Amino acid sequence: MSGPPTRRLAFPIDAELRSASPWVWVSLALAALWIADSILSPQQSLSSELGSILFATPALVAAALLFVAPRERMVRVSAFGFAFPVAFLLIRDALSPIDAVLNDNRDWALLGQRLFEWTDAISSVTWVFGIVAVLALAFYLGPIRSRSGWLIVFGSAVLAVALATVYINNWLSLVDQIGGGLILAGSDQPSLLDLAFGILSQLVIVGWGYLLAVTYERHMRLLALGALARLVLSLVGLLSVTILFDSMQQDTSGGLATLLSLTNDVVLIVYVLTFIGGVLTELPRHGRIPAADDRAGSASSAEVFSAGR
């Protein structure tokens, strides 16, 4: 007697790997280089080591996006937005030995200084790529069509405004300290451009709120949980510099700071696992998915849910 028939996967993983876009491997290489650099670089604590390693997550997200839907324009834009900050920081780290060589040569010493000035200018706007990445992915999935979705966006906007207010207060405090006699290096001097960039960078939080609303409406549970985890990370950061700040200063044992750091690490790991898992299992592989309200009560809802798998 022959054994039970074997089920074939709808998307054989080996065939998909062989036909994967070369940019998938480029993104994975970026992540591997960053992780290797993080492991080799001395860190002050296990938490900082973990955070440094997990900074490679955007490159892994980019690889997952290009693996699942490499032909979709908005997905490619999103993948580029996720991967660029990692690639840029790797390039910037590689400039350090180059700068040391250039400084040994009087004719080229100025070039090394200019390179770091240019990279400093670019690093101040890398948050733009984060906004592009998140919104491109959200627009690929579709628009918000419910009141609850817009309430989620509104809540994320409130969080962004709160963090922008904290940034403004810190900027004004630094300006007052300089007026009182504090001397800082030129690169540390607060400027109106820094203030503007600090405020605008909080728009990334609104972008994650928009993505959370879109994925929540479409019942993409892993992607929604990943987006929610990113918002929780911002909320933990806000609490640590506002409500809990005085308590942390008075806690000589450091227990509260350790608890917040542990909470941040756990939420960060949840984000990494759920968001990458959601991209691989819930993202539609071909075209857009129907809007949430169009799917309600339809007989083909099961097919829609399986379209991203």
265 has pLDDT over 50: yes
Give residue 51's pLDDT.
76
Domain assignment present for 2:
no
Exposed e or buried b per residue across 122-151, where buried means at least 16 C-beta atoms within 10 angstroms of its C-beta: eeeeebbbbbbbbbbbbbbbbebeeeebee
Confidence of residue 147 (pLDDT cuts 50, 70, 90): very high
Give residue 124's pLDDT.
83
Q: How many domains does the chain have?
A: 1
Give residue 287's pLDDT.
46
The closest alpha carbon to 23, from 95, 75, 91, belongs to: 75
Asked if 307 and 285 count as a contact pair (C-beta separation under 8 A), the reply is: yes
Q: Most confidently modeled of 4-13, 14-23, 116-125, 131-140?
A: 131-140
Give residue 75's pLDDT.
95
Confidence of residue 108 (pLDDT cuts 50, 70, 90): low
6 by DSSP, 3-state: which? coil
Q: Pick the residue with more confidence: 275 or 182?
A: 275
Domain assignment present for 76:
yes
295 has pLDDT over 90: no
Give residue 43's pLDDT.
62
Phi, psi of 134 (to 5 degrees): -70, -45
Which strand (E) or helix (H) includes residue 293?
Answer: helix 292-295
CA–CA gap between residue 52 and residue 147 (Å, rounded): 38
Tell me which residue range forms the domain holding 125: 13-98+107-291
Mean pLDDT of 11-28: 72
Domain assignment present for 187:
yes
Mean pLDDT of 273-286: 90
Domain assignment present for 88:
yes
Is the torsion defined by CA of 162, 166, 168, 169 positive or negative? positive
Domain assignment present for 306:
no
Domain assignment present for 302:
no
227 has pLDDT over 70: yes
Mean pLDDT of 212-228: 97
Domain assignment present for 160:
yes
pTM value?
0.81
The closest alpha carbon to 97, from 84, 85, 115, belongs to: 115
Domain assignment present for 6:
no
Mean pLDDT of 67-73: 91
CA–CA gap between residue 71 and residue 202 (Å, rounded): 30
Mean pLDDT of 117-127: 82
Sequential DSSP letters for 139-191: HHH----SHHHHHHHHHHHHHHHHHHHHHHHHHHHHHHHHHTT----GGGS--
Q: Pick the residue with more confidence: 245 or 128?
A: 128
Count CB atoms within 10 A of the CB of residue 223: 28
Helices (H), the chain: 13-18, 22-40, 46-54, 57-68, 73-103, 109-123, 127-141, 147-179, 192-200, 203-217, 221-241, 245-250, 255-282, 292-295, 301-306
156 has pLDDT over 80: yes
241 by DSSP, 3-state: which? helix
